[in-house]
Structure 1
Amino acid sequence: MTLLALAWANLLRDKLAAALNTALMAIGIATIVLLLLFGHHLEERMRGDAAGIDLVIGAKGSPSQLVLSAIYHADIPTGNIPLAEAQRWAEHPMVRTAIPQALGDSWRGFRIVGTTTAYPALYAAGVREGRLWQAPGEATIGAAVAASGLAVDDSFSGVHGFSPEGHVHGDSRYRVVGVLAPTGTVIDRLILTSVESVWAVHGTAEPTDPEITTLLIDYATPFAATTLPRLVNSQSQLQAAAPAVQTNRMLQLLGVGIDGVRAFAWLLVVSAGLGVFIALYHALEARRYELALLRCLGATRGEVLISLVIEGVLLSLAGTLLGVFVGHLVAELAGQWLGFAATEGLTGWQWLPAESWLLAYGTAIGALAALVPAIRAYRRDVTAVLKSA
Structure 2
Amino acid sequence: MNIVRLSLKQLAARPLHTALNAILLALGIATIAMLMLFNAQMQDKLMRTAEGIDLVVGAKGSPLQLILSTVYHADIPPGNIPKREADKLAKHPLVESTVPLALGDNLLGYRIVGTTPAYIDLYGGKLASGKLWSVSMEAVLGANVAKKSQLQLGQEFASSHGLAAGGHLHDDNKYQVVGILAPTGTIIDDLVLTDLQSVWDLHEGQESTNPVYQQANPLAPAKPADDEEDGKPREITALLIKYKTPLAVLALPRQINANTNMQAASPALESARLLHIVGFGLDAFRAFALILIVSAGLSLFVALYTTLKERRYDLAVMRLLGSTRLRLFSAVLLEGVLLAVGSAALGLLAGHLVTEWAGRSGLTPGLTLTGHYWVPEEGWLALLALGVGILASLLPAIQAYRTDIGTVLSER
TM-score scaled to structure 1, two decimals? 0.95
| C-alpha deviation, 1:220, in angstroms | 1.1
Instruction: Give yes or no for the alignment of 1:154 onto 2:177.
Output: no
Instruction: Give yes or no for the alignment of 1:357 onto 2:380.
Output: yes
User: How do 1:1-389 residues align onto structure 2 when only pairs under 5 Å count?
Assistant: 1-147=1-147, 148-203=149-204, 206-207=228-229, 208=231, 209-338=233-362, 345-389=368-412
Q: Deviations over 1:6-32 (max 9, x none)?
A: 212211211111111111111211121
| C-alpha deviation, 1:344, in angstroms | 5.7
**In structure 1, how many angstroms separate the alpha carbons of the residues matched to 2:364 and 2:178?**
25
Aligned AA (1:23): I
Aligned AA (1:328): H
**In structure 2, how many angstroms separate the alpha carbons of the residues matched to 1:283 and 1:245?**
56
- SS of the aligned residue for 2:71 comes to helix
Aligned AA (2:407): A
| C-alpha deviation, 1:121, in angstroms | 0.5
Is the 1:139–1:175 Cα contact (8 Å) retained in structure 2?
yes
Are residues 160 and 338 of structure 1, via their aligned partners in 2, closer, same or farther at CA, if it must alter by over 3 Å?
closer
Is the 1:273–1:316 Cα contact (8 Å) retained in structure 2?
no
**In structure 2, how many angstroms separate the alpha carbons of the residues matched to 1:350 and 1:60?**
39
Deviates more, 1:286-295 or 1:195-204: 195-204
Give the number of equivalent residue pairs: 388
Is the 2:50–2:267 Cα contact (8 Å) retained in structure 1?
yes
**In structure 1, how many angstroms separate the alpha carbons of the residues matched to 2:152 and 2:246?**
42
**In structure 2, how many angstroms separate the alpha carbons of the residues matched to 1:293 and 1:159?**
80
Aligned AA (1:365): V
Structure with the higher fraction of residues in helix conformation: 1
**In structure 2, how many angstroms separate the alpha carbons of the residues matched to 1:127 and 1:324?**
37
Are residues 170 and 5 of structure 1, via their aligned partners in 2, closer, same or farther at CA, if it must alter by over 3 Å?
closer
| C-alpha deviation, 1:345, in angstroms | 4.8
Q: Deviations over 1:70-123 (max 9, x none)?
A: 111111111111112112221111111110111112222111111110000111
Is the 2:42–2:367 Cα contact (8 Å) retained in structure 1?
no
**In structure 1, how many angstroms separate the alpha carbons of the residues matched to 2:388 and 2:269?**
38
Aligned AA (2:53): I
| C-alpha deviation, 1:317, in angstroms | 1.0
Is the 1:96–1:220 Cα contact (8 Å) retained in structure 2?
yes
Structure 1: runs of 5+ lacking an equivalent: none
Q: Deviations over 1:339-360 (max 9, x none)?
A: 989x965321222111111111
Aligned AA (1:349): H
**In structure 2, how many angstroms separate the alpha carbons of the residues matched to 1:8 and 1:167?**
65
Is the 1:280–1:373 Cα contact (8 Å) retained in structure 2?
yes
RMSD of aligned Cα (Å): 1.9
**In structure 2, how many angstroms separate the alpha carbons of the residues matched to 1:339 and 1:249?**
23
- SS of the aligned residue for 2:52 comes to coil
**In structure 1, how many angstroms separate the alpha carbons of the residues matched to 2:29 and 2:363?**
25
**In structure 2, how many angstroms separate the alpha carbons of the residues matched to 1:376 and 1:353?**
37
TM-score scaled to structure 2, two decimals? 0.90
| C-alpha deviation, 1:382, in angstroms | 2.7
Is the 2:315–2:403 Cα contact (8 Å) retained in structure 1?
no
Aligned AA (1:194): D
| C-alpha deviation, 1:150, in angstroms | 2.1
Deviates more, 1:13-22 or 1:151-160: 151-160
Is the 1:111–1:162 Cα contact (8 Å) retained in structure 2?
yes
| C-alpha deviation, 1:237, in angstroms | 1.1
**In structure 1, how many angstroms separate the alpha carbons of the residues matched to 2:101 and 2:26?**
48
**In structure 1, how many angstroms separate the alpha carbons of the residues matched to 2:357 and 2:189?**
21
Are residues 257 and 340 of structure 1, via their aligned partners in 2, closer, same or farther at CA, if it must alter by over 3 Å?
closer
Are residues 108 and 345 of structure 1, via their aligned partners in 2, closer, same or farther at CA, if it must alter by over 3 Å?
closer
Aligned AA (2:350): V
Aligned AA (1:355): E
**In structure 1, how many angstroms separate the alpha carbons of the residues matched to 2:9 and 2:363?**
45
**In structure 2, how many angstroms separate the alpha carbons of the residues matched to 1:214 and 1:17?**
60
Aligned AA (1:296): L
Aligned AA (2:160): V
Are residues 93 and 105 of structure 1, via their aligned partners in 2, closer, same or farther at CA, if it must alter by over 3 Å?
same
Deviates more, 1:99-108 or 1:62-71: 99-108
**In structure 2, how many angstroms separate the alpha carbons of the residues matched to 1:338 and 1:113?**
22
| C-alpha deviation, 1:158, in angstroms | 2.3
- SS of the aligned residue for 1:88 comes to helix
Is the 2:140–2:194 Cα contact (8 Å) retained in structure 1?
yes
